Structure 1
Amino acid sequence: MSPLDFTGRCVVITGAGRGIGRGYAMELGRRGASVVINDISAEPAHAVAEEINSAGGVARAIVADLTDPDAGAAIVAQSLEHFGALDAVIVNASINSKRKAFPELSVDDLERMLAVNVFGAWRLLQAAWPHLAATGRGRILLTTSQAGLYGMPRLAEYATAKAALIGLMRTLAHEGASVGIKVNAIAPAATTRLTEETVTDPAALDMLRAMQPPHLVAPVAALLVHESCPVTGETYLAGGAHVSRAFTGETQGLTLPADGFTTEAVLQRWDAVRAETDYRVPRDVSETGDLKQKAEVMRLLKASGIVN
């Protein structure tokens, strides 16, 4: 198989000064991409750009804080000014959880997390969207987390933000289909600066660094933002030289006559409601619930012009 080539393609990566984002930048730079290194800190951003340029690649550092309402538009504008086009965006920047139990977290803690992970991503992607659409092959990669997918204790504000990105990814995948934009999500497992803020035992950190170095996430990210990427609206776990797909399944469930649909009747058949036999993986809301009933609902909605 021929190597995936990014020559002539401009890719913006947020949080690319260190860790996983740096790994993405080095991988894409090695493959010929013009890489925009965004980070909140100037020194690491310029260091990564210089490393790529010194190796014969093409990179430019753009220092910006995604909590700034104007940052997303500024990153896009500067990328277009320097490289003339925008082909892909990897939203990687994040901050660490306060690692507090839920009752101990404040609304400020949640707002701080959402400001980077959700509002920062939202503004950047809205600014980038028309330019990605103009190429007819735009690519977006959002960064979720196993905490957002499955939940983890003492990470409530982090999990909330990362789960929100799954809903955004799924919706943008639908909206992007008509203009050639593919949108996916990655849940990386790697030992980074955020890990070091949480895991303080040196032996444990050494073990994690050996098992899950940041650069082993990059091959999956490169595939998902390449123009040959075959999927959209999907979530992948990557780390430690492993990749897998995470998806939302739905049981076949239970449909009863309307006059018999009571709390007690449902409780009596609870095992049938929960049974994972013959579960399905809906592509969109038209494939959820009772499929015969949903087909009729969708027919009526289309007839009314509410959905197309």
Structure 2
Amino acid sequence: MVGAATSTAYSATKLALVGLAKSLGLEGKEHGILVNTVATSGYSPGAAKAIQSDQVMEAMTKYMPAADIAPGVLWLAHQDFQATGQSFAVAGRLMTQIFLAETQGYMGSQDLEWSLEDIGDHWDEVTDKTDYNIPTDAAVFGPLLFQRFSAGRSELKRDELQKGFEKR
């Protein structure tokens, strides 16, 4: 999911599963079915084959025993756990949430020419991670996107936008 040289198909498949879990999480929620993904990292004979450093191997053995992954995975199946359509990681005793985010970006003017040079001149804005959105689903993302296009003008009303992206 984070990319690795010589692991193109593996990485692409992992990210595809994130999208699948997001969609299944939305579809299953009304039926009490929660769907999430978990990316695990821990010392195992398979992981050991990929490690080229004795120091890294020693640290993995100490801080990332495979058995330490179980409580994090079990929490995701616990009756008190309520998140759905999310992605988590468990590495040893570290549990984190993984998410896709969108920066505020750069909005080119409708009154000026839109060009690759314009984008290049504002690339710092495109990639500025100090403020970002975490799209939860298309029904939330779509209206937000179109609100940004209208930049506060009343061309598209919020309720009309939401109707446009509702599940059919």
TM-score by length of 1: 0.45
Unaligned runs of at least 5 residues, structure 2: 151-155
Q: In the alignment, which of 57, 64, 77 is matched to residue 212 of structure 1?
A: 64
3-state secondary structure, aligned to 2:35: strand
8 Å contact kept, 1:151–1:159: yes
Q: Quick one: distance in 2 between partners of 1:264 and 1:212?
A: 47
Q: What fraction of aligned residue pairs are identical, expressed as a percent?
A: 25
Residue 307 (structure 1) aligned with residue 153 (structure 2):
no
Displacement of 1:173 in angstroms is: 0.9
Residue 242 of structure 1 and its aligned partner are, at CA, apart by: 1.2
**1:212 counterpart letter in structure 2:** M
Out of 290, 295, 302, the position equivalent to 2:145 is 290
**1:160 paired residue number:** 12
* Correspondence 1:1-308 to 2 at 5 A: 148=1, 150-199=2-51, 205-260=57-112, 261-285=114-138, 286-287=140-141, 290=145, 292-293=147-148, 296=156, 299=160, 302=163, 307-308=167-168
Provide the rounded CA distance (Å) in 2 between the counterparts of 1:203 and 1:265.
Answer: 47
**Superposed displacement of residue 225, structure 1:** 1.0
- Classify the secondary structure of the residue corresponding to 1:188: strand
SS for the counterpart of 2:36 is: strand
Tell me the number of residue pairs that the alignment of Structure 1 and Structure 2 aligns: 159
Q: Distance in 2 between matches of 1:228 and 1:294?
A: 40
Structure with higher RCO (Cα < 8 A, 6+ apart): 2
Distance 1:291 1:242 in 2: 38
1:178–1:294 CA distance, 2 compared to 1 (3 A) = farther
Residue 259 of structure 1: CA displacement?
4.5
